[in-house]
Structure 1
């Protein structure tokens, strides 16, 4: 899920220029050993903080919605600036004002969120109450004064001539302020405002310490809230203090509470301009917030906190060491890896206490995590975190099971201790199953399976069903309200089946695997797309593949590929590998097409796995080309460098996998589809062993796999399983600038899971199209770019179609050059190219001739609305072939449109 900012980035901050210079000068990092490398230098926290290039993004999804502030891996505190037009992320690079520095943020969510406990240094008198005029205190700033690095942010507030530096530990934030020489240096503490509105808060001031709570929540329109308790301590005594409530400011007051409440401290900086503050937070109590602060930041050594934050990030980034990469590639890769490790967030305190989904305090003997954007992260993030962080992933799985035991079901899209039911489907089972498939075992698997099963049996999460359409799904075997939701249910059922089989529960495996194949019930065989279907079983017609009406953040052209566990069945239904390849070629005409174009949309999650569909059609060169184009064109090192919302690490996880040369193409399983690495060497350092990936010749311009060996054995298969790399492992690629035969055999394709489903027969291998590239004529084309030859060029890409709106019957004729044996024809209609299926030809004849004068009709069709038709005939000799098209049904402008007309012998 992903706001549309209209202004573009015009200036790169000084910090970004430094990072770019460092990256460009260090073009190679060779992990000769497991020695720790200096990798945080390649992270640019400003990537993703402004608009991308999507022409029609999902609401809130124009940019990455990342934040540049201070955080450590999975940190409870995300201490970052908030700017005026930055919703939903808090910060927008194009803004030049700062409203506050707040303690909580999401990495890339699509709705306004967090921004709890806002702090703002100011100078001078408080002319208006911050309670009702907070934004009037916002300060302008100069871009050249702004910088950011992992665990650190710095900026100068020009309005107050004050420099603010931020750092963080897991559960605390630290603020170093350098004021001008003044007796009225103040720090405002807003306890009644967050990104989603004003709510109750409290503040109590006692000497150098402030305590209290704030109320947040309301994510994506929800009414659910949470409380954060805080302790703020200062390195010096204030010269004054006060509080506010609403529009009333009371100087000298030590406490306040209610909506639009807050307080301030005043400092005399005429002799010492530096003031330091540190903030501990907890979802349980003030006492726990103080304990977190004492345990993680007992002093006031800002430099030490910053250094520790950098070290924690460097340790995490060193789990993947890459070599011989261009500076921009290194920066994109390590920034993506940095974003992957920001969520979910630690929710338990240093004493093990946490606030659960039953709205009660509990104690755990492991780290408890919360915040899951399930619909987004199940596709690639969950497998990546299982691979790179198996210990943390185990605690994440444990935490999700705890959520289910306390709230009722595995979380769907949760914010702290509340389920918000955002997006469709039932992603929790897929996340857990994927982590399990990638080696995560240290959690209660029996309880996890029971919770998965409960979701389809009327179970609820905090009193509400996650599968709100389950009864209709079970009755009809599809969801008529939204075919994309139907696919989501089937995907979850598939993951449950795989998890059940792994645990030895064959009964549940059989049940859920059968349901997983219900995707077929929303695939329109006439249209060739996933399409809407009425509650009575009737199909909506025509289908406009570019229209998002009735779909969740996508359209038919995009959702048709969302059957990654049974691509064999899908490809066969499309007409076989050749048609699938042609359709994929057309689909990748654009890379970030948005909601209402029939093209690939990397900026939103449903299509993240589509580039690897080529592998299943035994055409891995298509995957290699598409993946590298997306990496180079849709991901950049600028503020608009993410193609859509990062969605708690989901989009960044896509880039990390792509750079590694593999992708978890089938969520819920351990299958990794391969396409070859970006870097010449990759070392993945895991507790169970080191995975070394060598890409001889790898780099820009050499994206095609020439050959591969896995653990010393040569293979032509374009996939492996997690078990192949679970311990110490090696993948040795040779990469090249041109496609090879690697992965093109029928036995080389990744597995499809057909249990409970009889796939349709594959389309016959018809061999060469005798008409391709031959001289063609036809009735007057609609435009000069849509002439008859376009129907014989072997491509659907870039609107390569023939169109004619001549009066009466339209004809398309080809000269085969000599008498040839002709035995079959394939007609692919314009609907397969992303236009409305209402243009599909409903009536046509096919004729053959030896001399171009005397014609014999060999195919006569009426009443067809299919997107692709195959017509075998008794073999005959012919030099000329003619297609005569009658007026298509449902076509107001009386035009015929053909994407491809094939003639086979």
Structure 2
């Protein structure tokens, strides 16, 4: 279990932590992907922690998805953020803001500028405001610590604004709202209370978060306030409460000292629990530095040391360990902090979303964090037990939004076929999957204005068409992209039904997993390429822009084109290749994806920013051309990723982009829902993955340059000492008990893979 509070207690009590052999945190570039649409944030955080302490930057007209922007003013420094997501901002709650001098209207959306660029390292964040206040943040799992250095002694203030939340300027009804709250101050400067908020990208109804704060220094003045836009801020007597979003509440603490430290705990349960979380994790007298050091020790021991390499190239090491870091920020381990129901099961949330993570991330969590991953699976099943459906996305304890299929189904199937058991109740897990596959969820109330036809909260909103016709008509939004995902989800049900001995169910869902074929229009063409998944009515196919048809919620395709979605259903790869004209035509179509086809007037089509294309560079393996998979995937990795602030091709999407890169470094690619891994080529001369319980996967590569820049074509491969001629291997080959991959690399491609093709179970 990766909830690390006992380790915090040991460290903060002064008991020495076992130190890993190296400080891998030195290779983590916190600002990688914080600009250019990556939406990472330089927060202080522990693996999967509830608290992600960082800045909230306000720039009119620009969404700060995870709180951070390189330009703009600080509106606060808060303890709750999502990480690396698109959609719209979420959280930005439980905030403080330092202010110098007299503050006459504290609840008036005050912001302060920044004096210099922010700084950050693992477990630590620093900013300097335009008033020359140094702000430093550190975090435990459920508590954070602020350290302020004001320019001089005098009227130095800390504003606690309960109404503070990250805004959105998208104009799509996705902005968060404050809806009331309470704050109370005791004579010793201790404050506690709660805020109520709603909406955000998942369109959540009201949710409540509790806080409990202390200042280590005595305030000379502390005041509570109520405020409205019409009346301004009005002082109250030590307590302020509101049941309306129009009435803000907050407090102002004034100090005559230049150095001020504040400790704050949070809880989804109560102020008492928030105070307990604080005292358990950052008790009175805890030094700021010890919190940072403990966080670094946890990252080293629990995450970064899981992957070791002989590489010395700084850029490669930074890409490796920064990617490992960013894939461990969400989901959030909220065990013991579930306000919805009492359960003996673990509770995880902030799944944002499986549409983003099921292709790469979940498989790598299974490899690197099997105990935490088992807890996540158990939590998904428990959410189904109490809320009715597993989530595709979930935040603030509320399911939503579902962009495509019910992709938790394929996540469970992937864990099941790879033998993850532990304390998972797989009969309940299968029941949760059947609910997705058979019961249409009630429409979102009110209907989602961007997709009003059916639920975007959970489940499969277009299920009536899927069950009646075996395809989805344009009566439903995202009809084609939903259909290819529903087919993939049904393949997941087939896998689990087969494993549980439910033969009739297995046959049913295997058949349904082929229904993506019903969207294949062999006459749809562009240039001299024919056959694509296309939108349809009950009786006819419709025309759609095959190359540029990537739309949004109301369109037939979600965030990718018909060209891209035609490659989706790899569980039926053999038939997909036949529909595209056979292996040679399939190869030609893949080549055009990356190179374009000038004779046909088609430019390069691969989109590294978008998850539906994640697997496409590796599909050459299905025609035994893994050398081309190496060429394409390595070109994508080396041209789209670097360690700069703009070093991600698109939204991190809860680490999805980073896990794609990590699999590229490892030299394998997971086929979710199967035990299959497609082989390409590793970057490093040696790489060792700690699989837990004494098991390791050792990967060596002779003949390459050790950084994946050149000489990366596989000449030969041995798996566990045996000469290997397949372009794929299985979970049991190298992960179940550990294993060894020995690559010989060289500058020129060779046809080393002459064995059986990767499995295509639905074909």
Task: Give the TM-score normalised by the residue count of structure 1.
Answer: 0.73
Aligned residue pairs, count = 688
* Contact 1:201–1:262 (8 Å) recurs in 2: yes
* Contact 2:106–2:159 (8 Å) recurs in 1: no
- Map of 1:516 onto structure 2: 513
* Contact 2:308–2:687 (8 Å) recurs in 1: yes
Matched, 1:373 2:359: no
- Map of 1:235 onto structure 2: 216
Deviation (angstroms), 1:503? 2.4
- Map of 2:288 onto structure 1: 302
- Map of 2:339 onto structure 1: 355
Partners of 1:614 and 1:505 lie apart in 2 by 34
2:738 to 728, 746, 749: 728
- Map of 1:477 onto structure 2: 470
- Map of 1:683 onto structure 2: 688
Deviation (angstroms), 1:94? 2.9
Range that drifts further, 99-108 or 527-536: 527-536
Deviation (angstroms), 1:102? 1.1
- Map of 1:102 onto structure 2: 78
Partners of 2:396 and 2:85 lie apart in 1 by 14
For residues 320-349 of structure 1, the C-alpha deviation after alignment (integer angstroms, 9 at most, x for no partner) is 11222521111111111111111110213x
Evaluate the alpha carbon distance shift between residue 529 and residue 73 of structure 1 in structure 2; reply closer, same or farther with a 3 A threshold.
farther
Matched, 1:287 2:287: no
- Map of 1:58 onto structure 2: none
Stretches of structure 2 lacking an aligned partner (at least 5 in a row): 1-18, 167-175, 446-454, 525-529, 597-601
For residues 164-189 of structure 1, the C-alpha deviation after alignment (integer angstroms, 9 at most, x for no partner) is 11110111111111112232111111
Matched, 1:320 2:307: yes
* Contact 1:65–1:108 (8 Å) recurs in 2: yes
Partners of 1:88 and 1:749 lie apart in 2 by 46
For residues 587-617 of structure 1, the C-alpha deviation after alignment (integer angstroms, 9 at most, x for no partner) is 1138xxxxx9761111111111111111112
- Map of 2:381 onto structure 1: 401
Matched, 1:609 2:615: yes
* Contact 2:115–2:132 (8 Å) recurs in 1: no
* Contact 2:437–2:490 (8 Å) recurs in 1: no
Partners of 1:454 and 1:197 lie apart in 2 by 32
* Contact 2:440–2:462 (8 Å) recurs in 1: no
Partners of 1:440 and 1:367 lie apart in 2 by 18
- Map of 1:36 onto structure 2: 21
For residues 203-252 of structure 1, the C-alpha deviation after alignment (integer angstroms, 9 at most, x for no partner) is 11112211011223312261523111110111122111112222443456
Evaluate the alpha carbon distance shift between residue 384 and residue 623 of structure 1 in structure 2; reply closer, same or farther with a 3 A threshold.
same
> What is the 5 A alignment of 1:101-140?
101-110=77-86, 111-130=88-107, 133-134=108-109, 136-140=110-114
- Map of 1:808 onto structure 2: none
Deviation (angstroms), 1:88? 4.5
> What is the 5 A alignment of 1:488-507?
488-507=485-504
For residues 805-860 of structure 1, the C-alpha deviation after alignment (integer angstroms, 9 at most, x for no partner) is xxxxxxxxxxxxxxxxxxxxxxxxxxxxxxxxxxxxxxxxxxxxxxxxxxxxxxxx
1:701 to 710, 721, 738: 710
- Map of 2:542 onto structure 1: 540
- Map of 2:678 onto structure 1: 673
2:237 to 253, 270, 291: 253
Partners of 2:415 and 2:679 lie apart in 1 by 19
- Map of 2:225 onto structure 1: 244
* Contact 2:218–2:255 (8 Å) recurs in 1: no
Partners of 1:522 and 1:622 lie apart in 2 by 28
1:169 to 140, 157, 172: 140
Deviation (angstroms), 1:582? 1.4
Evaluate the alpha carbon distance shift between residue 321 and residue 225 of structure 1 in structure 2; reply closer, same or farther with a 3 A threshold.
farther
Partners of 2:321 and 2:353 lie apart in 1 by 22
Evaluate the alpha carbon distance shift between residue 515 and residue 600 of structure 1 in structure 2; reply closer, same or farther with a 3 A threshold.
same
Deviation (angstroms), 1:438? 3.7
> What is the 5 A alignment of 1:393-432?
393-432=373-412
Deviation (angstroms), 1:686? 1.9
Matched, 1:663 2:669: yes
Partners of 1:533 and 1:91 lie apart in 2 by 38
Deviation (angstroms), 1:369? 4.5
Partners of 2:154 and 2:213 lie apart in 1 by 21
Partners of 2:81 and 2:580 lie apart in 1 by 44
Partners of 2:234 and 2:151 lie apart in 1 by 25
Evaluate the alpha carbon distance shift between residue 565 and residue 231 of structure 1 in structure 2; reply closer, same or farther with a 3 A threshold.
same
1:342 to 329, 347, 354: 329
Deviation (angstroms), 1:36? 3.1
- Map of 1:634 onto structure 2: 640
Matched, 1:712 2:721: yes
2:420 to 424, 429, 440: 440
* Contact 2:471–2:516 (8 Å) recurs in 1: yes
Partners of 1:693 and 1:639 lie apart in 2 by 30
* Contact 1:48–1:640 (8 Å) recurs in 2: yes
Stretches of structure 1 lacking an aligned partner (at least 5 in a row): 1-33, 52-62, 591-595, 758-905
- Map of 1:160 onto structure 2: 131
Deviation (angstroms), 1:566? 1.7
* Contact 1:241–1:251 (8 Å) recurs in 2: no
Partners of 1:197 and 1:90 lie apart in 2 by 16
1:384 to 343, 364, 372: 364
* Contact 1:186–1:264 (8 Å) recurs in 2: no
Q: CA-atom RMSD, angstroms? A: 2.1
* Contact 2:440–2:461 (8 Å) recurs in 1: no
SS at match of 1:448: helix
* Contact 1:188–1:262 (8 Å) recurs in 2: no
* Contact 1:96–1:141 (8 Å) recurs in 2: no
Deviation (angstroms), 1:37? 2.3
SS at match of 2:298: helix
Evaluate the alpha carbon distance shift between residue 494 and residue 329 of structure 1 in structure 2; reply closer, same or farther with a 3 A threshold.
same
Partners of 2:434 and 2:692 lie apart in 1 by 32
- Map of 1:191 onto structure 2: 162
Deviation (angstroms), 1:468? 0.9
Deviation (angstroms), 1:262? 3.4
Deviation (angstroms), 1:529? 4.0
- Map of 2:170 onto structure 1: none
Partners of 1:741 and 1:418 lie apart in 2 by 50
Partners of 1:107 and 1:543 lie apart in 2 by 33
- Map of 2:40 onto structure 1: 66
- Map of 1:76 onto structure 2: 50
For residues 300-332 of structure 1, the C-alpha deviation after alignment (integer angstroms, 9 at most, x for no partner) is 311100000111111211111122252111111
* Contact 1:555–1:598 (8 Å) recurs in 2: no
- Map of 1:802 onto structure 2: none
Evaluate the alpha carbon distance shift between residue 623 and residue 142 of structure 1 in structure 2; reply closer, same or farther with a 3 A threshold.
same
Evaluate the alpha carbon distance shift between residue 176 and residue 394 of structure 1 in structure 2; reply closer, same or farther with a 3 A threshold.
same
Partners of 2:436 and 2:656 lie apart in 1 by 24
